[in-house]
């Protein structure tokens, strides 16, 4: 590393949903300071993230979180090289807090501003795996998060082509809704996964929607309804009054998780096969899969993707579990935008909502 690179420092800010996070990352990727304030206790009584509550909590936490990251890194604002913030996609109020904080600090400290696509950052978490090659791109990218289930061709970290995605619920959303049906604690994905590891994945035959569809789209809402019918039968609404045995819960979770994972793995295998021999031109061929987002922390998904990679002979990189859920360290992708001189102006606005099709 050159002496200049050692002193080049990025402040990365993340506030797209319900985690307020900041990190100080050196140009060589070393994380000098980081802080995440989670909001789980604020939302658990509602069984999901309440956007208004999330925005207010970000507002209270954003400056202390940034301050903690800078203090940990022993860096003053004036010493920074650039400030990066996720401006899309996400909850409007949540995004706004991060973007306004980043713009204000960029103005006060006279630093360049870099805007980040949160989804691209989730995939970039794979580049941060210890032992990963210097460049994991080009690759097919799978994002599996609470809001998104999407496949991309990633030519570089910041040049992505959308292949397809869910037409209804995201994989993480389905995990969370099944957790709610079973009255499991919030956030639900990890709780479903815990029970699934002790259940029989063949106890229920849940649908693998669109698994035979040749395209790259997904659908998980039919699976969610099938789980609902398995638990209560059609017509009944009140999950809270149900008395479901622990064994049934474990079996429902295992069978549900198997259905989600089967579809994700099958779609990835097909996308890789299609791009491996593209036009028989080695220059266009891609034989590498990168996977990020909260659901990428799921052990069964990780295991089954690895088995598919071994069988089909493709290279696989899955974000480290601690970088699967939302964090600011994956904002290291901002260095790629810095190198490409892709800076944002102080007019930067948020692009909220779900991101489909691009
Ligand atoms: O990426 P993320 O932190 O936030 C979004 O950008 O959406 O993903 C959160 C999602 C939630 O739906 C959560 O239930 C799910 O990831 N999740 C999991 C696991 N850990 C988190 N789903 C399945 N298995 C897990 N181990
Ligand atoms: Zn996320």
Going by pLDDT thresholds of 50, 70 and 90, the confidence category of residue 3 is low
Of 283, 289, 284, whose CA–CA distance to 302 is shortest?
A: 289
Q: Rounded to an integer, what distance in angstroms lies between the CA atom of residue 10 and that of residue 278?
A: 37
Give the number of the atom of ligand 1 that is nearest the alpha carbon of residue 293. Answer: 1
Lowest average pLDDT, out of 31-35, 54-58, 231-235, goes to 231-235
pLDDT of residue 124: 98
325 lines ligand 1 (CB under 6 A): yes
Inform me whether the pLDDT recorded for 170 exceeds 70. yes
| Sequence-ordered list of residues with C-beta below 8 angstroms from that of 237, at least 6 positions apart, any chain | none
Does a structural domain hold residue 213?
Answer: yes
Q: Rounded to an integer, what distance in angstroms lies between the CA atom of residue 92 and that of residue 58?
A: 12
pLDDT tens-place string over residues 94-116: 999 999 999 999 999 999 999 99
Inform me whether the pLDDT recorded for 284 exceeds 90. no
Give the number of the atom of ligand 1 that is nearest the alpha carbon of residue 147. Answer: 7
pLDDT of residue 280: 61
Burial status of residue 260 (CB atoms within 10 A of its CB: 0-12, 13-18, 19 or more): buried
Query: Do 333 and 235 have their domain in common?
Result: no
Going by pLDDT thresholds of 50, 70 and 90, the confidence category of residue 356 is low
298 lines ligand 1 (CB under 6 A): yes
pLDDT of residue 187: 85
Lowest average pLDDT, out of 2-6, 147-151, 201-205, goes to 2-6
Directed axis angle between helix 92-109 and helix 51-73, to 10°? 30
pLDDT of residue 353: 78
Query: Do 261 and 210 have their domain in common?
Result: yes
Lowest average pLDDT, out of 241-245, 259-263, 307-311, goes to 241-245
Exposure string for 233-245, b = 16+ CB within 10 A, e = fewer: eeeeeeeeeeeee
Query: Do 330 and 284 have their domain in common?
Result: no
Query: Do 177 and 147 have their domain in common?
Result: yes
Residues in the chain: 358
What distance in angstroms lies between residue 293's CA and the mean position of ligand 2's atoms?
6
Lowest average pLDDT, out of 181-195, 276-290, 321-335, goes to 276-290
Report the helix count and the strand count for the chain, using DSSP H and E. 11, 10
pLDDT of residue 62: 98
* Count: domains in the chain: 2
Burial status of residue 83 (CB atoms within 10 A of its CB: 0-12, 13-18, 19 or more): buried
Going by pLDDT thresholds of 50, 70 and 90, the confidence category of residue 304 is very high
pLDDT of residue 6: 67
pLDDT of residue 48: 85
The residue-averaged pLDDT of 148-163 equals 96
The residue-averaged pLDDT of 56-71 equals 98
Q: Rounded to an integer, what distance in angstroms lies between the CA atom of residue 96 and that of residue 183?
A: 32
Lowest average pLDDT, out of 105-109, 110-114, 258-262, 275-279, goes to 275-279
| Sequence-ordered list of residues with C-beta below 8 angstroms from that of 4, at least 6 positions apart, any chain | none
What residue numbers bound the domain in which 251 lies? 134-318
Q: Are 219 and 167 in contact (CB under 8 A)?
A: yes
Query: Do 178 and 47 have their domain in common?
Result: no
Q: Rounded to an integer, what distance in angstroms lies between the CA atom of residue 169 and that of residue 219?
A: 7
For the chain, what is the radius of gyration of the CA atoms? 21
292 lines ligand 1 (CB under 6 A): no
Query: Do 96 and 23 have their domain in common?
Result: yes
What distance in angstroms lies between residue 101's CA and the mean position of ligand 2's atoms?
19
Query: Do 103 and 197 have their domain in common?
Result: no
19 lines ligand 1 (CB under 6 A): no
Query: Do 213 and 168 have their domain in common?
Result: yes
Cα first-last separation, the chain? 35
CATH number at 183 reads 3.30.420.40
Q: Look at the block and give the residue holding tokens 């140009």.
A: 27
Exposure string for 54-70, b = 16+ CB within 10 A, e = fewer: bbbbbbebbeebbebbb
Does a structural domain hold residue 357?
Answer: no
Q: Rounded to an integer, what distance in angstroms lies between the CA atom of residue 33 and that of residue 49?
A: 27
The residue-averaged pLDDT of 136-160 equals 96
pLDDT of residue 357: 57
Does a structural domain hold residue 355?
Answer: no
Query: Do 120 and 209 have their domain in common?
Result: no
pLDDT of residue 240: 72
Does a structural domain hold residue 348?
Answer: no
Going by pLDDT thresholds of 50, 70 and 90, the confidence category of residue 82 is very high
Q: Are 101 and 350 in contact (CB under 8 A)?
A: no
Neighbours of ion ligand 2 (CB under 5 A): 145, 326
pLDDT of residue 145: 94
| Sequence-ordered list of residues with C-beta below 8 angstroms from that of 88, at least 6 positions apart, any chain | 16, 95, 115, 117, 118, 350, 351, 352, 355
Does a structural domain hold residue 39?
Answer: yes
Q: Look at the block and give the residue holding tokens 């061929």.
A: 285
Q: Which of 98, 173, 189 to mutate to test the pocket of ligand 1 (most atoms within 8 A of CB)?
A: 189
pLDDT of residue 70: 98
Q: What is the pTM of this model?
A: 0.94
Does a structural domain hold residue 347?
Answer: no
The residue-averaged pLDDT of 19-37 equals 97
pLDDT of residue 358: 52
pLDDT of residue 44: 87
Give the number of the atom of ligand 1 that is nearest the alpha carbon of residue 171. Answer: 12
pLDDT tens-place string over residues 84-96: 999 999 999 999 9
Residues making up the binding site? 118, 122, 143-147, 176, 189, 298, 326
* DSSP letter string, 297-351: G-HHHHHHHHHHHHHHT-EEEE--GGGTSS-SGGGGGHHHHHHTT--B-TT----
Percent of the chain past pLDDT 70, that is, above it, reads: 94
pLDDT of residue 347: 96
Does a structural domain hold residue 352?
Answer: no
Query: Do 145 and 77 have their domain in common?
Result: no
What distance in angstroms lies between residue 292's CA and the mean position of ligand 2's atoms?
9
pLDDT of residue 233: 75
pLDDT of residue 277: 77
Does a structural domain hold residue 285?
Answer: yes
Inform me whether the pLDDT recorded for 2 exceeds 90. no
Query: Do 118 and 13 have their domain in common?
Result: yes
Q: Rounded to an integer, what distance in angstroms lies between the CA atom of residue 288 and that of residue 269?
A: 10
Query: Do 189 and 304 have their domain in common?
Result: yes
Q: Give the residue, by CA position, lying nearest to ligand 1 atom 10.
A: 146
């Amino acid at each position: 590393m050159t002496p200049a690179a050692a002193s080049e420092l990025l402040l990365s800010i993340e506030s797209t949903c319900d985690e307020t996070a900041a990190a100080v990352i050196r140009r060589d990727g070393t994380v000098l300071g980081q802080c995440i304030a989670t909001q789980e206790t604020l939302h658990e009584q509602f069984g999901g993230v309440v956007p208004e509550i999330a925005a207010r909590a970000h507002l209270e936490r954003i400056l202390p979180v940034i301050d903690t990251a800078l203090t940990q890194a022993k860096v003053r604002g004036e010493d920074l090289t650039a400030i990066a913030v996720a401006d899309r996609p996400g909850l409007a109020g949540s995004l706004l807090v991060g973007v306004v904080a980043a713009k204000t600090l960029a103005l006060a400290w006279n630093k360049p501003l870099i805007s980040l696509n949160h989804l691209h950052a989730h995939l970039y978490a794979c580049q941060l795996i210890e032992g990963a090659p210097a460049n994991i791109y080009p690759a097919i990218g799978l994002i599996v998060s609470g809001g998104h289930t999407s496949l991309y061709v990633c030519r570089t970290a910041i040049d992505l082509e959308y292949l397809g995605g869910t037409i209804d619920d995201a994989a993480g959303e389905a995990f969370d809704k099944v957790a709610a049906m079973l009255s499991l604690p919030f956030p639900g994905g990890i709780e479903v996964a815990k029970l699934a590891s002790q259940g029989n994945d063949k106890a229920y035959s849940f649908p693998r929607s669109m698994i035979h569809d040749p395209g790259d789209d997904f659908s998980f809402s039919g699976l969610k309804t099938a789980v609902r019918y398995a638990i209560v039968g059609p017509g009944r609404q009140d999950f809270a009054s149900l008395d479901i045995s622990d064994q049934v819960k474990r079996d429902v979770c295992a069978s549900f998780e198997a259905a989600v994972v089967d579809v994700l793995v099958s779609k990835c295998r097909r996308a890789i096969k299609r791009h491996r021999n593209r036009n028989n031109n080695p220059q266009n061929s891609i034989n590498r899969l990168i996977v990020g987002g909260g659901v990428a922390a799921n052990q069964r998904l990780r295991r089954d993707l690895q088995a598919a990679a071994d069988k089909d002979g493709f290279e696989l990189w899955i974000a480290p579990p601690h970088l699967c859920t939302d964090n600011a360290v994956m904002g290291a992708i901002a260095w790629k935008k810095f190198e490409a001189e892709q800076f944002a102006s102080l007019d930067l606005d948020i692009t909220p909502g779900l991101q489909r099709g691009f």
